[in-house]
Chain A
């Protein structure tokens, strides 16, 4: 049971512990810095080679629309993630909108070439590198956002972690669409989208643990 006297003692203690603090950058500045780093990162990755039919794909309205949606999803999710670190500034609607854009982009895989019969070995052998690459490409953008949130004060750590993860993994998915020539729906769902879902869930757990512990 606490009393007002305890509160007064607490006030004294907090005031005596007060030291100058470095203010967090505004969400806009942090978003811009994240974006600059990720654009550079994407340029380095893509300079290693893109899918051979990229020019033809970009001429396709469906592929172009898919990439636009993915870009919008990444931007919305990144904005929501950096805002999640500041009490009262949370933009969960942007996060939801970003997830909706990613979900619509996910539906675009079903407009691609039809299912083909593949031996299970071939399916796994071609898919595993894609899933691994998606996870690796998502590491930097996700970790960057989680650290950005960690430096702030997230009131909803799990949600903040999930949005950071979704952002990083959708970013990786978009990069993989520029790298991987496979357009078959089953491949895209199993080896590209499932890692996005798993990555987001893992980031939510990491957020709940790491960001939540920091508050206690």
Chain B
């Protein structure tokens, strides 16, 4: 990791590949579906990438790694518990709210107020009708990450439209 922090792309590639195997085994113990395991592995790798500057090479690597992995797993479990309900709401609520207010502009204004990454995730899924897989590919992120962004967008929209 120290070499990766110094910008060594090959060392970083090797490290991430090793970590992917470790993470796959770790998540397989907690999650049944292979697809979900792969989503979790990808989310964790992305988090490792974003937080790689926080690792101190003078300290053990495992506590740092598994803190991120555990956090990803916790987020996943939380998402899984609420996914069904929010996905149903995602289908219904924003349109209903716009209709109820009698102003489609309200949704547009609320969308404009969202952070770019969340707005795009929401637009891909609910306005342009893309699948999670397609949208994630366009955004260059994992499907899990895209779902999180869409979820956050939905929550923000719900809050804004219910004012």
Contact = CB atoms under 8 A, between A and B. Distances in A.
How would you classify the secondary structure of chain A's contact residues: helix, strand, loop or mixed?
loop
A216 B12 contact: no
Contact of A18 (B7, B56, B148, B149): B7
B152 A216 contact: yes
B53 A6 contact: no
How would you classify the secondary structure of chain B's contact residues: helix, strand, loop or mixed?
helix
Interface string B128-163: 000001000000101111001100100000000000
A15 interface: yes
A212 B12 CA distance: 25
Contacts of B63: 88-89
Given A14-B16, A15-B9, A1 B53 contact: no
B28 interface: no
A66 interface: no
B4 interface: yes
A11 to B, nearest CB: 5
B25 interface: no
Contacts of A19: 7
Contact of A15 (B10, B53, B71, B117): B10
Contacts of A6: 38, 42, 142
A18 B41 contact: no
Interface in A5-20: 6-7, 10-20
Interface string A88-109: 1110000000000000000000
A216 B68 contact: no
A205 B11 CA distance: 38
B115 interface: yes
Contacts of B148: 216
A22 to B, nearest CB: 6
A202 B54 CA distance: 26
A14 B67 contact: no
B35 interface: yes
Interface in A29-51: none
A207 B17 CA distance: 32
A119 B37 CA distance: 65
B35 A1 contact: yes
B5 interface: yes
Interface string A172-216: 000000000000000000000000000000000000000011011
Contacts of A215: 47, 50
A2 interface: yes
A155 B17 contact: no
A26 interface: yes
Contacts of B133: 1
11 contacts: A2-B42, A11-B16, A11-B45, A14-B46, A15-B9, A19-B7, A23-B55, A86-B56, A88-B68, A153-B51, A155-B71
Given A6-B38, A15-B12, 5 more contacts: A6-B42, A15-B13, A24-B56, A87-B67, A152-B54
